[in-house]
Amino acid sequence: MSGTLFTNVRILDGSGGHPVPGSVLVQGNRIKAVGRGNASIPTAGATVIDGAGATLMPGMCEAHTHFSWNDAATLAGIQTMPLEEHVLWCAKVAKKYLDAGFTSCVGAACAKPRLDVVIRNAIDAGQIPGPRYLAASQEITVPGALGDETLPHLPFPEFSFGVNVNGAEDMRRAVRMFLKYGVDSIKLNLSGDNFTPQSPADTAWMTDAEVAAAMEEVRMRGKRGTAHARSAASIKQALRHGIDVIYHASYTDDETLDMLEAARDRVFVAPGIAILYAMLHEAEPWGIPHEKAVQMGYQHEWDHAVESLKAMHKRGVRILFGGDYGFAFTPHCQNARDLEFFVKYLGFTPGEAIRCATQYGGQIMMKPDELGLIKEGYLADLLLVDGDPMANLAILREPKRMLAVMKDGVFAKQPEIAAERLWGRAA
């Protein structure tokens, strides 16, 4: 028998419960056996890693990822990066996510048409290291809405952050282009955003005919629709048209909450609330002091988002973590901060917060029965973490606490061979 045996670990299985001491055997790319307490696992031939009391948990899934956001403070700052540099940037960021413990990421839009697809393909082909990845389209938008960055005197689509469409047939053309490129999901900007004052967060922009045309094409190819939807009207529109992944969902009324609850076995909500907090309290170095952020509507949105998400959580709607990291105010790989916010502001228990990144992660990655838990037969995406995330979620965003990262049964980050006592080959 070969494989890897983690002994002397605290198993945090990702289902929301507390860790238990035990050992876990990986063979090939799957978890072969989970031994709780003193239950013995046959060790012959396996490489033994003595976890020395560290936590073994499932790899995390980031539900709202933008590899191509390049830590700029503006949409134009992301969009105007030349293509060649942009590809290299994305490859670098993909590796960074994997090293930080994100073994799965759900692409939520990229800044140029094929960036996500190319990176996903390169990861899958083993050309570059990176998480399991679902590739998104660029944001699709309409004139005047979030992502339309064209200027009256420079009406060139290359200057626009999102792909601008006008009418149902134009939507169909854009969606077909991205499907041809091989995306896993089509991203529609259904609401505005306080980042773009001409189209604030509590507004809606697309016609039902445009959304219906997009979703007809998406369904025909067996793909997934995702939506930037901050306003109640846009959330309802997403639900009416069968969009599965709703980003933000800040503003709700009773009807919206009822609709979300009715669809809770199908939809995922990934709010990305850290960016609201960052805009309000941390964006001054980039010219957005607190008063300006309030003026832009961020306090109003934060207050509503907190209430909306608390209500969704009570109604059993799956809320996932991550979102909009890759701006100057929300740098990449601080994503696990969302989990702390879920506990601090939304009333989650630490176990519930972790489940958002693990079990729900497997579900949003479309592998509900084989990814996101430490369980026999599941894919071996595992993290060895120095400390107890249940006691302190902040350790999940400290690189040095991530002792080892395994994806698909292979170490992406090897545990350091610091001492013989950590390694041995069992007889």
The residues of the shown chain that bind Zn ion, judged by CB under 5 A, are 108, 324
| Shorter beta-carbon distance to Zn ion: residue 55 or 189 | 189
Determine contact, residues 168/212, Cβ cutoff 8 Å.
yes
**How far is it, in rounded angstroms, from Cα 204 to Cα 175?**
20
Closest contact distance (angstroms) between CB of 260 and Zn ion is: 19
| CA terminus-to-terminus distance, the chain | 11
| Shorter beta-carbon distance to Zn ion: residue 78 or 306 | 78
Closest contact distance (angstroms) between CB of 324 and Zn ion is: 4
**How far is it, in rounded angstroms, from Cα 422 to Cα 416?**
9
Closest contact distance (angstroms) between CB of 243 and Zn ion is: 15
| Shorter beta-carbon distance to Zn ion: residue 13 or 324 | 324
| Shorter beta-carbon distance to Zn ion: residue 223 or 228 | 228
Closest contact distance (angstroms) between CB of 270 and Zn ion is: 9
Q: Residue 178: is it exposed, middle or buried by C-beta count within 10 angstroms (0-12/13-18/19+)?
A: buried
Closest contact distance (angstroms) between CB of 392 and Zn ion is: 27
- Please give the structure tokens belonging to residue 26: 């990986």
Q: At how many degrees (to 10) do helices 298-314 and 254-262 cross?
A: 40
Closest contact distance (angstroms) between CB of 69 and Zn ion is: 8
CA neighbor of 269 nearest in space, from 302, 243, 292: 243
- Please give the structure tokens belonging to residue 186: 């089509």
Determine contact, residues 368/379, Cβ cutoff 8 Å.
no
| Shorter beta-carbon distance to Zn ion: residue 324 or 340 | 324
Radius of gyration for the chain, computed over Cα atoms and rounded to the nearest angstrom: 22
**Rounded to the nearest 10 degrees, how much is the dihedral formed by the CA atoms of 284, 297, 333, 16?**
140
Closest contact distance (angstroms) between CB of 179 and Zn ion is: 20
| Shorter beta-carbon distance to Zn ion: residue 46 or 108 | 108
**Contacts with 420 (C-beta within 8 Å, 6 or more apart), sequence order:** none
Closest contact distance (angstroms) between CB of 313 and Zn ion is: 21
| Shorter beta-carbon distance to Zn ion: residue 109 or 412 | 109
Q: Which residue is nearest to Zn ion (CB)?
A: 324
Closest contact distance (angstroms) between CB of 332 and Zn ion is: 13
| Shorter beta-carbon distance to Zn ion: residue 16 or 225 | 225
Determine contact, residues 49/415, Cβ cutoff 8 Å.
yes
| Shorter beta-carbon distance to Zn ion: residue 19 or 107 | 107
Determine contact, residues 217/173, Cβ cutoff 8 Å.
no
Q: Residue 290: is it exposed, middle or buried by C-beta count within 10 angstroms (0-12/13-18/19+)?
A: middle
Closest contact distance (angstroms) between CB of 139 and Zn ion is: 8
| Shorter beta-carbon distance to Zn ion: residue 108 or 269 | 108
Closest contact distance (angstroms) between CB of 380 and Zn ion is: 30
| Shorter beta-carbon distance to Zn ion: residue 75 or 382 | 75
Distance of CA 200 to the CA centre of its chain: 23
